[in-house]
Amino acid sequence: MSYLSLDLSRSVPTRSRIYRTLYSSPDFCSRQSLARDCEISLPTLHQYLTELFQAGLIRSSGEERATGGRRVQGLDIVPDARIALGISVTGQHLRLAAADLRLRELAYRRVPFALPSHLQRADGALAGIIEQFLDDCRLDRSRLLGVGITIPGLISPDESRITFAPTLDIQDAPLYPLTRGVAYSVHVENDGTASGRAESFARRRQSMAYLSLEYGIGGAVLIDGVPYHGNSAKSGEFGHICVEPGGLRCSCGRHGCLEAYCSAARIENGLGVGLEDFFRGVAARRPEYEELLFDMLRHLAIGINNIHQVLDCDVVLGGFLSEYLQPWFPALKRYVLSGNPFSEDAEFVQLSAVPRHITPLGAALSFIRDFVASV
C-alpha cells in the first residue's frame, strides 16, 4: 500500500513534488524517470535528492534495471523514517497499531479496556497504555508523528466532544479526560471514516461505500478517495439503516437497525461466546450457531442492497467481523443477488483489501497523510 491523494502540480515546491512523486509511484523509479515526471532537470533533481537523502527520507531501492543500454538504480522513500500510532476504542478493548509511512503494520496489541460512560473516570489512563506499548514494542518516539484515535460514534468538528456513541453509552461528553496526559499530537475521528480512508488508500483512491462490521456498524462514503461527510458529518452511518421494521432493539434505541442484526455484539450478547468460538461452532454445524449466522447474512444483504441502490458503487465490507466471513462470502453474495433487481451479479460486494486491524491503521493514516503532504 502506498497511495495518497497528493497535489503533484507545479505550484507545489520542488522538494515536496519530488518526495510526493516518489511516494506515489507504484513502479520502479529512477532518477531519469523522476526528473521527467517532476518536469525538472537532472542537476536540479540531484540537489534536492541530496537534501532528502541527508534528511533520511529517501534511499536507493536496491533494485536496478536496464534502461537505454545501461543499468540504473531505483529510488524509494524510507518507510520507517516516521511512524504513526493508531488506537481503536471499543466498548471492551483498545486496539493499538503502529504503522510506517506505507501504512505497513509494525506492531499491534489488543488491550482490555472498558471505557466508562462518564469519561471523567478515564482520568488519562490512555497515556500510560500508549507509553507501555511504545516501550514493549521498542518503537522510536523521535520518529512518532502522532496518535490517531477512533471512536465508534459521532465526534464534534473541533474533536473536543463525543456527541453520540450508542455502543459506548456516551452522549455529549468531553474527550479530554480520555486524551489527558498523552504526550504526542492527537487526532480523533469516527472509526468508520478512518477505516474507509485506509481501505481507499489500499485500493488507490477508489470510490466506494465502506461498511465497517465490528461491535457496532458504521462506515464511510468515499468519492475518488475523499470521504463525503454530509451536511452534518453523519454520512456513512449505515448501522442505522432499517432492515427489519419493528425488529430487534438497537443500541441507538430504535428497532430493526442493521447494527442490531449484523454486529459482533449480537453474537457475543446472544450466545455468550467470542467470535472465534462462534465461527468454530458454525464450521462444526452447530444448529443455533448456523441459524444466527445465516440470519445475519440475510439482513446484511438487505443493508448492502439498500446502500448499493442509493449510491451505485462498490460496497466493501471491513472491520474485524469481516475477517471471519470469507468461507460464507459466496452465501452472502447469493442473498445480495436474490434481493437486487438491477444487477446480474453481486461483484460490487467485496471484502476488505486490509483484512486485519484496518481501524487502528486508519487512525494512524491521518498523520501519515499530513506528513507526506508537508515534506
**2, pLDDT greater than 50:** no
Is residue 277 situated within a structural domain? yes
**159, pLDDT greater than 90:** no
Is residue 5 situated within a structural domain? no
**In a shared domain, residues 92 and 185:** yes
**262, pLDDT greater than 90:** yes
**Total domains, the chain:** 3
Check residues 65 and 3 and name the one with the higher pLDDT. 65
Give the HSE-up count for residue 159: Cα atoms under 13 Å, Cβ half-sphere.
12
Beta strands in the chain (DSSP E): 58-67, 70-77, 83-89, 93-100, 105-112, 144-151, 154-155, 161-165, 170-174, 186-190, 208-213, 217-223, 226-228, 315-318, 349-351
**205, pLDDT greater than 80:** no
**In a shared domain, residues 174 and 306:** no
Poorest-pLDDT segment among 26-30, 126-130, 141-145, 218-222: 26-30
**In a shared domain, residues 288 and 229:** yes
**In a shared domain, residues 153 and 211:** no
pLDDT in tens, 315-345: 999 999 999 999 999 999 999 999 988 888 9
**In a shared domain, residues 240 and 340:** yes
pLDDT of 11 reads 73
Distance of CA 188 to the CA centre of its chain: 13
Of 28, 49, 77, which residue constitutes the final position of a domain? 77
**309, pLDDT greater than 50:** yes
**In a shared domain, residues 246 and 331:** yes
Domain containing residue 192: 81-196+358-374
